[in-house]
Chain A
Amino acid sequence: MGFQPAQGLVVSAGLEAHDTDWAKPEALLDCYIVWATASNDEGTLPCRGPKGRLNYRMECRIPLQGLVAMSHIYRPIVAAWLLSLLAAPAYAQQGHPALPAQAAAQVDRLLSEEVLRGQTLAPPVDDAAYLRRVSLDIIGEPPTPQEIVAFILDPAPDKRARLVERLLGHPLYGQNWARYWRDVILARRSNDRALDLSGNSAVVYLTEQFNAGRGWDAIVRSILTATGKARTDGSTVLAIAHEGKPEETAAEAARVFLGIQLQCAQCHDHPYDSWMREQFHQLAAYFPRVVLRPLPVEVLPDFEVTSIEKVRGGGRNKAQPEHYMSDLNDPKAKGTLTQPQFFLDDAQEQAGLTDGQRRATLARRTTAPDNPWFAKALVNRVWAELLGRGFYEPIDDLGADRKCAAPQTLDYLTRQFIASGHDLRWLLTTITATAAYQRPGRARSESDKAPFSSVVIQPLRADVLFSALGTALQVDLDQVQQNRRGRQGGPRAQFELAFGYDPSLPRDEVAPSISQALLLMNSPQIARAMRADTQQSPLGRLAAAIKDDDLVVSELYLRTLSREPGSAERATARSHIQETGNRAAALEDILWALVNSAEFRERR
């Protein structure tokens, strides 16, 4: 399926270099081209992804001399040369991905063949439920009552697709998924300080990357090759999380980005997978030259991730230029010198590579389109977050020896994702357009008749629950004052401590706790924000503005559960207001009960 860009209009082009070693005779360039239209044998196609951009990526090695490569004069020349390459058949074969609507339909078709044969499937959920689901999944916030009403009344037939497009263009999209990945990477940190050091900077960095539409492969490459300061350069989050230690960093990089759990192979051949101890240490050998340097303390302690190329005499904990696999029979011995080698393709590296070269090479091999697990791990994860269960479960445990619930569907989705240039917006648009995603939710404890025959209810992540609480109470909880002094991190961080969980865990291991119940029931900050007896608070203003009890109750339900109350629920509320006698107190009780309900804490 080729195409001819000859009639394409280049809106802008950008170049980015990945290899930071300028002394190399070659540079690896990523080329981003934005097209308005393109044509092929079948005619002119509007190439539209979310926000009207479609990023094409290609890697090419260009013989350049150091600094000359990056000069302003040289860049446009290189860009023009690259554009001319795009017409080449080799590139044309890469093709472009199916438009999300078509891909979604194909996914549904494949699922029905693979796992849903003969099942009677529920129709899609109603608009209010879809709006809430998609808002929580994409931007990590529930919809406001106005948005709910507007969406329900919108007559457009493609309103759901347009809603998704709108949400993906919202800056909170990047922030929501940045927080997700921060939780994933820092949950298994071996350096306890990493949360304090990198927690914020990682979110800032990833928010920027996701909102800019950068491809997942490029983002992962930047994380694997990152250098810089923990508090300002969020891309260093993985190195900070494991203090640059080769074994831990390698194991986590494999688990998080490839879904392959190698860590058992650290000490012995993996007990039940095919990975050998040697392979683990060959992966660790990409990282021995990473070192964390403490920086002089200005306000807060900080560390810099940097490379060390030569061993300096003396001092403990300095990184050696090489990685040695320890001898189990003789732990005091230095061990076997191990060269970096990538466990998935057995490609061997040259000896004596610098840190930049090692990590850049690893980054390329990890994110290569022909790496069977990279894109799959990401697609599996995102699918699992949205549908409530992955093709592979646990979601960070893939591999040839693992069982996949619907291999052809996952393969198709993965191939399209790669073709899109690892475009996360494309993936989210596609998944949210499938019929599978739009089916009603079921409790995790109920077994499903067939995988993906229904969506599984997910517990909200700490950040999302915090935002939902803010919407419910109509208060900006980040600004709420804390009574106790000397608490680190502010209200959101405290909430995250109580409600946070590792997103890589099987979700049925995440259960609400008594401490969480106590917080929602008795937190003074929440109670203050819920008062109805004063015009200073949102509930007080609502009660004063609207005299009709039914309307107030509806508004409270819309703010907390994003839906109108049913008739039984209305009756309960009405009778409670009557029995209590005190309208303000009764409304506080109702809001309290809503915030403490099971439904509030879930994404149905």
Chain B
Amino acid sequence: MLLPLLHHAQAAIRPDGGVTRRDFIKGLSAAGLATGTLNFRDAMSLEAAELRKRGMACIVLWMGGGPSQFETFSPLEGHANGGETKAIATSVPGIRIAAQFPELAKTARDIAIIRSMTSKEGNHNRASYLLHSGYLPTPTVKYPSLGAICAHEIADKACELPSYVRIGRTGFVDGGGGFLGVEYDPFVLARGDRVPENSTPLTPVERFRSRQALLARMEAGYAAGGGAAQVADHQKLYQSATRMMLSKQMAAFDLTKESSAIRTAYGEGPFASGCLLARRLVEQGVTFVEVTLGGWDTHADNFTKTKELAGQLDRPMAQLIADLKQRGLLERTLVVWLGEFGRTPKINPRAGRDHYPQAFNVVLSGGGMRGGQVIGRVTRDGMKVDDRPVTVPDLFRTICRSLKIDADREQMTPIGRPIKIVDGGSVVQELFG
């Protein structure tokens, strides 16, 4: 009974192995009609299988510099360490966040705040690496970042856009494919509000393809003469770039195609455009989008600077979650808000806060997690985790569980050593309750 379907499936599979959903469904119904062997139920379950294969997506909102937990999701009330930050109630009784986040206060039912994140790493580069890959940097292994892991494990093969996209520039370097290879490096866009530069071919597609074929033939000699590794990587890169630029899905990058009502709802500024673009990309099947907002390294003038950053963060993040929910995408899209560490409870002489990995915040939304709750607690002075500490491996394992990735799966590094996706840690079950 499945043979006619296989025939259509094969016809619909493109040379590079991707299956376009539309082709598949077309083939499906045609086959069913033609042979009369396919009933409605089977057709629907195959379609569901297709959708399930589409899988989960993840949007990371990366707060570069280490965002202060006290000036965001965990204001410290009733203690001098709280400084001048006031708190407000949210739509969930008992949960209070900093007063500069009125929009997010309304979405409290959809977000879960982990107040007891803890790590030992207070150096920007090392901590950023840790919070991107789940591992500390070592000279021998280049650990892939979460985005690369998602692209590797659960990417939607039908999507012609890169599966791992980063919007905005972070100060630090990795966050790339690591030992998984260059094809899992992110596609980096400086800004969300501009279509990627140089993404329109300047010659007709036929000629473009013929040029690519010529390039491949010309490089064959170089590859044979000892350049095989570079040429292979190079060609993978060019294939990804070409697939993207010739795709109709490139329209996702054009924010002018979005209604002005939605665009105003997200707010102004590069972070707002980034969030809106992230939603559009996820709709197209991009698996992992990281949107960065930097400037949180507030060693001086903490209160002024965080208020300003709150103005850039509040509306877009709230609107992103609401928008995803409204489109029915929130169940399969995990939104993670985090930075490399938090900031010191004690205020320093420059009215600033310094690095503080001992107790910081991470916020999660969607992806099958139960919102409207707080995980963990810190002491009254904000200095130590009092209850239910969550380590970085715990967080990563939880994220993998949400995205339906097997955290214990081993991957082979070039030096022949198998590395698990997450090393240790245990899932924070309360989030899925």
B210: CB under 8 A from chain A?
yes
Count residues of B near A (Cβ-Cβ below 8 Å): 58
Q: Are A599 and B214 in contact (CB under 8 A)?
A: no
B328 close to chain A: CB less than 8 A = no
- Closest residue of chain B to A570 (Cβ to Cβ) is B221
Question: Does A585 have its Cβ within 8 Å of any Cβ on chain B?
Answer: yes
Q: Is B230 an interface residue (CB 8 A)?
A: yes
The reply to whether A517 and B237 form a contact with Cβ atoms under 8 Å apart is yes
- Asked whether, in the complex, the Cβ of A334 is within 8 Å of the Cβ of B349, the reply is yes
Interface membership of A446, Cβ < 8 A: yes
Question: Is A518's CB under 8 angstroms from B230's CB?
Answer: no
Across the interface, which residues of B come within 8 angstroms of A580, CB to CB? 210
B122 located at the interface, meaning its Cβ lies under 8 Å from any Cβ of chain A in the complex: yes
Cβ of A592: which chain B residues have Cβ within 8 Å of it?
Answer: 211, 215
Contact assessment for B173 and A593 in the assembled complex, using a CB-CB cutoff below 8 Å = no
A512 to B350, CA, bound (A): 41
Cβ of B347 < 8 Å from any Cβ of A? yes
Bitwise interface map of B from 260 to 276 toward A, beta carbon under 8 Å scored 1, else 0: 00000000000000000
Inter-chain CA distance A597–B237, complex, in Å, is 12
The answer to whether B123 touches A568, judged by C-beta atoms less than 8 angstroms apart, is: no
CB-CB under 8 A for A518 and B241, given A589-B214, A598-B230: yes
Q: Which residues of B contact A572 (CB under 8 A)?
A: 214, 217-218, 221
Interface residue ranges of B340-359 to A (CB < 8 Å): 344, 346-350, 354-355
Known: A331-B344, A524-B202. A515 touches B197 (CB 8 A): yes
Q: Closest approach, in angstroms, between the C-beta of A557 and any C-beta of chain B?
A: 10
Task: Tell me if A568 and B355 are in contact (CB < 8 A).
Answer: no
Flag whether B198 is at the interface (Cβ < 8 A). yes
- Asked whether A443 and B227 contact (CB < 8 A) given A515-B197, A599-B222, the answer is yes
Q: Closest A residue to B240 by CB, please name it.
A: A514
A326 interface residue, CB < 8 Å from B?
Answer: yes
Give the CA-CA distance A544 to B187 in the complex, in Å. 41
Tell me whether B348 and A332 are in contact (CB under 8 A).
Answer: yes
Counting chain A residues whose Cβ lies within 8 A of the other chain, the interface size class is 35 or more
- Least CB distance from A190 to B in Å reads 9
Assess the A511–B214 pair: CB atoms within 8 A.
Answer: no
With A518-B199, A523-B198 already in contact, the answer to whether A590 and B346 are too (CB < 8 A) is no
Residues of A within 8 A of B240 (CB): 514
Considering the chains assembled together, what is the distance between the CA atoms of A317 and B221 in angstroms?
61
A171 to B351, CA, bound (A): 49
Cβ–Cβ contact B182 & A511, under 8 A: yes
* B221 & A568 in contact (Cβ 8 Å cutoff): yes
From B174, B230, B238, A602 is in contact (CB under 8 Å) with B230
- Chain A window 442-480, contacts with chain B (Cβ cutoff 8 Å), 1 for yes, 0 for no: 110110000000000100000000000000000000000
Indicate whether A596 reaches chain B with its CB closer than 8 angstroms. yes
With an 8 A cutoff between CB atoms, is A502 at the interface? yes
B221 touches A566 (CB 8 A): yes
A555-584 CB contact bits vs B (8 Å, 1 = yes)? 000000000001011001100100010000
Most buried by A among B174, B229, B240: B229
Q: Does B30 contact A (CB under 8 A)?
A: no
Asked if A264 contacts B211 (CB within 8 A), the reply is no
B201 to chain A, nearest CB (A): 6
* A442–B122 CA distance with the chains assembled, in angstroms: 38
8 pairs of A and B residues whose beta carbons are closest in the complex: A598-B234, A517-B241, A593-B215, A522-B198, A518-B198, A331-B348, A443-B229, A598-B230
Q: Given contact pairs A522-B199, A599-B230, A602-B230, enumerate 10 new A-B contacts (beta carbons under 8 Å).
A: A267-B122, A332-B346, A443-B227, A513-B188, A517-B238, A518-B196, A518-B198, A518-B245, A576-B217, A589-B210
Give chain B's interface residues, CB within 8 Å of chain A: 122-123, 139, 142, 162, 173-174, 176-177, 182, 185, 187-189, 196-202, 207, 210-211, 214-215, 217-222, 225-231, 233-234, 237-238, 240-242, 244-245, 300, 344, 346-350, 354-355, 414
Interface residues of A (CB under 8 A from B): 263-264, 267, 316-317, 326, 330-334, 393, 440, 442-443, 445-446, 457, 502, 505, 508-509, 511-515, 517-519, 521-524, 527, 566, 568-569, 572-573, 576, 580, 585, 589-590, 592-594, 596-599, 602
Q: List 10 A-B contacts (CB under 8 A).
A: A442-B226, A443-B228, A446-B229, A508-B142, A517-B238, A519-B197, A523-B198, A569-B221, A594-B218, A597-B218
